[in-house]
Amino acid sequence: MVKKIFDIFPPKPMSFKGGGKEPEKEVKEKKSKKLFKKIGIIIICFLGLIFLISLRASSEIMIQPFKNTIESIAEGLKASPQIESIDFDNKIIPAQFFEIEKETSQKFLATGESFEEKKAQGIIRVYNSHNPPKSMTLVVKTRFLSSEGSKYFKALENIYVPAAKLENKKITPSFVDVKVEAMESGEEYNIGSSNFSIPGLVGGSYYYTIYGESDSAMTGGFKEKVEVITFEDIKNAKKSLEETLSNEAQHSLTESLPENFVLLPSAVFDQEVESSCSQKAETQISEFTCAGKIKIKYLAFNESFIKEISKNIIFSKMSELDRAIEESLSIEYVENRVDLDKEEMILNVKILLDTYKNIDEQSLKSGILGKTQEEIKNIVFTDFSTIEKIKIKFWPFWVRKTSLNLDRIKIKIDIGG
């Protein structure tokens, strides 16, 4: 049998000519180089951007100066309807007359006290059983004493009591009905049926034979405290009503005035008031009503005119280094009066204005060039004694010093609260 022999040869290197592929390791190396190149470009661009931004870095220095209040009293200012514009030399401002009418009514309480009272009244039958029979005349106001409650009553008329009748030695009393009234007022005299004696007959034989009886109760007696209108109540009510009318008129007129106009309480040039009350003094009633009408003429002015003159006056009190905080200007009317003959108002005004000392911004900028926050604060509080507070902002955020360029430093003055 013939044997087959196979020769084994080592593999030949593969050729990458034509459409062959590179080894995977070389591909990864090339990709890494490209990535590093891109990252490098990005870093360079970022650093360049930071450099460019840093070149435009800026600082904002917010400073709050110490404030000082200047006070002045402007005396003799005048408000007159005779002029149309401010007269600074003579301190006169234009003013206008306004008129208004108002009506109102109010209820008031009576403060006086009195007693409303009435005496109880009734009928007593007076008997005459005297023996021997004899008539009896009792005068008006004869007193009767009740057995119930021991209350005194008096006769309202003269009383003639006929003599009793004597028949077969037997006495038949005569009688007469008499209208009586209690000696005092009050409900306690409204007693029921009772027997009555006549105190005026005590000590004589008639005391036991002349007497009275009532079959019905005494009625109508009472006594109670009631409110009464006093003359002072009427006087005070009218005064209060007039004050209310004046206040309401001023309030209504103030609401209708042009913008910025001021109406002072004392600026009254003419006033007519009428008032009346529904009840008279000494009337027994708990409350009463008063009504009134007012016609009033006021002089009012635009407060901006006063502020203009006040500003002119207060500015003259300032030094060259003072700077005014104009929005802080305030005025207070401390005294004013009217001149009815000249139809003008004379005003004394208290003027208040906040100021601060001028700050040399250029000098401040020059002193803080290239300085950190702490360095800036030390410079400011050492060299600029008129500054109370300071707030520093750098841009961009990574900047820690001010620019060396004066134009990149901004100074702002905070004159707030």
pLDDT tier at 1, thresholds 50, 70, 90: very low
DSSP assignments along 181-233, one per residue: EEEEESGGG---S-EEE-GGGTTSTHHHHEEEE-SS--B--EEEEEEE--HHH
Sole residue written with tokens 């990005």: 42
Q: Would you say residue 266 has pLDDT above 50? A: yes
- Rounded Cα distance between 412 and 21, Å, is 69
Q: What share of the chain is helix, strand, coil (3-state, %, to 5)?
A: 25, 40, 35
pLDDT in tens, 34-73: 777 777 777 776 666 665 555 568 899 999 999 999 999 9
Q: Identify the pLDDT of residue 225.
A: 87
For the domain made up of 117-225, give the CATH fold.
Elongation Factor Tu (Ef-tu); domain 3 (2.40.30)
- The DSSP 8-state label assigned to residue 87 in this structure reads B
Label residue 248 exposed, middle or buried (CB < 10 Å: 0-12, 13-18, 19+): middle
Minimum mean pLDDT range among 6-10, 140-144, 341-345, 396-400: 6-10
What CA–CA distance (Å, rounded) separates 254 from 264?
Answer: 10
The predicted structure's pLDDT at residue 168: 87
Return the number of other C-beta atoms located less than 10 Å from residue 180's C-beta.
27
Q: What is the pLDDT of residue 22?
A: 53
Name the DSSP class of 284: B
Cβ pair 60, 393 in contact under 8 A: yes
Tell me the pLDDT of the chain averaged across its residues: 88
What is residue 244's three-state secondary structure? helix
Instruction: Please state the rounded mean pLDDT for residues 195-199.
Output: 95
Q: Can you tell me the distance from the alpha carbon of 228 to that of 112, in angstroms, rounded to the nearest whole number?
A: 5
3-state SS assignment for residue 308: helix
Predicted confidence band of residue 148 (pLDDT cuts 50, 70, 90): confident
- Angle (CA) 353 358 359, round 5°: 140
Q: Domain ranges in the chain?
A: 97-111+228-300, 117-225
- Can you read off the two tokens belonging to residue 94? 């234009």
**Per-residue pLDDT at 303 exceeds 50:** yes
Full-model pTM: 0.57
Give DSSP secondary structure letters for 45-79. Answer: HHHHHHHHHHHT-EEEEEEEE-EEEEEEEEEEEEE
| DSSP-derived 3-state class of residue 384 | coil
Per-residue tokens: 66: 């110490």
C-alpha 90: how far from chain center: 38
Tell me how far apart the alpha carbons of residues 14 and 45 are, in angstroms, rounded to a whole number: 45
**344: helix, strand or coil:** strand
10 pLDDT higher than 70? no
